[in-house]
A and B are shown apart, each in its own frame.
Chain A
Amino acid sequence: MGRFVYVDNAATTAPAPEVIAEIDKAMSDIWGNPSSLHVKGREAKHALDNSRERISSKLGCSANELYFTSCGTESNNWALKGTMAMTQRKHIITSKIEHPAVLNTCKALEKNGCRVTYLNVDGDGVVDLAQLKNSITDDTAVVAVMMANNEIGTLEPIKEIAEIAHSKGALMFTDAVQAIGSIPVDVHELGVDMLSFSGHKMHAPKGIGGLYIKRGTRIANLIDGGGQERKFRSGTENLPYIMGLARAFELAYDRFDDIPRIIAMRDRLIDELTKIPYSRLNGHRTNRLPGNINISFEFIEGESLLLLLDMVGICISTGSACSSNSLEPSHVLLSIGLPHEKAHGSLRISLCHNNTEEDIDYIIEQLPPIVKRLRDMSPIYPGDNN
């Protein structure tokens, strides 16, 4: 069996052994319903409160500002739809490079009579603050900009955006699904009113997410029922995963001293892979997630690249249209100004703390010949000497 290198951590992460152990414990022992008044219920309620406390202390908020959901997408839907249901204001500002969970929620709200401004980004993927200042009005209910882009890793100036939002009395919401677990995040430091995150991007399982809602924020609930999550998100709490998530938060926040090592691996990959002729880095060179590398290789198509890398045990993602169900390549790559043909040949590598220098060596060894092999097959490749 050859080497196996998983570098698609922006898609999902391997659950940490400590998280699995925590969930196992919950499944075996703490299986009560937190709403029950008997001993089993009280035990579960205690574990629920304890988990919420542990997570909120990491995020810098109080426990009653933290709500558990089923995933990042639900959190994003709730933040936007819940906000728009409680305000007379009809305008939303977001960016063109948001995750579909935000973009398609905005599109759904447009059908309900909301007006949405989709902010442009520059060549590095940073939102246009001048356009934000020009488009925000007294009718703007919420500004929704992601903390870190899922494809190109660019970090957005959330603090500045929040200040601009608040200057007009609008709420500030950030989708921090890619950021949480990768970099330190403190909601007060950021000045946001709402922040979403997801378990499976931080070594907890799929099926658990959360939304921070600042105390006093007016928001409608999305799911009606038995009144769990202080009446805001009904449905019996997914306690095993909530406990796993709490453990994942502790592990992530204890591991931030590993960020320089991950950045060094990232930068080595960027330096080596952009030596390949006709390649370019997508996203900001330095102001990006520690583990994100996104590179376009001209004259080849991303899915082919993905398949050949898969065959040598390297798991990555691509922004090509052929890997999706649409004919359009990544909206993020098009928004930063890449022509279609360059967007088709993009590859995303996303590292985490589990990756090693040996993984990086292996990618640097395997990738260039695969790019060459596909280019030699490509009718549009002019040769490296042209």
Chain B
Amino acid sequence: MEYNDKVLDHFTHPRNVGEIENADGVGTVGNAKCGDIMKMFLKIEDGVIVDCKFKTFGCGAAIATSSMATEMIKGKSIEDALNLTNKAVVEALEGLPPAKIHCSVLAEEAVKSAIADYYKKNGIEYDHDLLDCSEGACHLHGSNAEE
């Protein structure tokens, strides 16, 4: 199992690490038992994600996918951010080892979870089936993920 240069770059020099005070949306997915937790912070103005930061406990791929996901949604509309798929994150990273695909799923869910939080805070109705991510079970490698 080996990471490519792009993944290693995002792991060693992660973009947008940190927290946003008074963020408009905060989402946390994963759990410590499974070995990865992602927390995503969004600053939203006029339906656009003007700032985005993350904190991640996890492996190299977890940190790299978090970093890439923040880059991909920063400056985008909420609608565009909701369309971010784990597959797109993997492609932007030029591939992940098969056992690490679940990290990209977590990144996608972290974004959705932060947007759901924004909707909740603002009393906006949304599709719970689509955006509410469970924090319960560990993701099986590759399951419900597009490789």
A: residues with CB less than 8 A from B are 299-301, 303-304, 307-308, 311, 320-323, 325, 327, 329, 339-341, 344, 376-381
Whether a CB of chain A sits under 8 angstroms from the CB of B62 is yes
Do A320 and B59 have beta carbons less than 8 Å apart?
Answer: yes
Contact B35 A320 (CB under 8 A): yes
Q: Tell me if B70 is interfacial: C-beta within 8 Å of chain A.
A: no
Interface contact A380-B12, CB-CB below 8 Å: no
A123 to chain B: closest CB distance in Å?
20
Q: What's the count of A-B pairs with C-beta under 8 Å?
A: 74
Cross-interface CB contact of B58 among A301, A325, A376, A381, cutoff 8 Å: A301
- A175, chain B: closest CB distance, angstroms: 26
B interface: dominant SS: mixed
Question: Which B residues are CB-close (under 8 A) to A301?
Answer: 35-36, 57-59, 62
B90 at the A/B interface (Cβ < 8 Å)? no
- Residue in contact with B59 in the complex, picked from A303, A325, A340, A381, CB distance below 8 Å: A303
Stretch at the interface among B26-34, B43-51, B71-79, B122-130: B26-34
Is B37 a contact of A379 with CB atoms below 8 Å? Answer: yes
> Do A308 and B12 touch across chains, with their CB atoms under 8 A apart?
yes
B87 on the interface (CB 8 Å rule)? no
Q: Does B112 contact A (CB under 8 A)?
A: no
State how many residues of chain B have any CB contact under 8 Å with chain A: 29
Q: Which residues of chain B are near A377, meaning CB under 8 Å?
A: 14, 17, 55-57, 63
Besides the known contacts A320-B59, A327-B34, A378-B37, 20 further A-B residue pairs in the complex with CB atoms under 8 A apart: A301-B57, A301-B62, A303-B60, A304-B58, A307-B8, A307-B60, A321-B34, A321-B35, A322-B58, A322-B62, A327-B35, A327-B138, A377-B14, A377-B17, A377-B55, A378-B55, A379-B38, A379-B56, A380-B32, A381-B57
Chain A residue with the shortest CB-CB distance to B39: A379
Considering the complex, give the chain A residue whose CB is closest to the CB of B30.
Answer: A379
- On chain A, the residues within 8 Å of B11 by CB distance are 304, 307
Tell whether B140 is near chain A: CB-to-CB under 8 Å: yes
Residue in contact with B57 in the complex, picked from A299, A311, A323, A340, CB distance below 8 Å: A299
10 contacts between A and B (CB under 8 A): A301-B57, A304-B11, A304-B59, A322-B36, A322-B58, A322-B100, A376-B17, A377-B17, A379-B38, A380-B57
Measured between beta carbons, the chain B residues less than 8 angstroms from A311 are 12
Q: Give the residues in chain A near B92, CB-CB below 8 Å.
A: none
- Which has the most chain A C-beta neighbours within 10 Å: B14, B17, B57, B99? B57
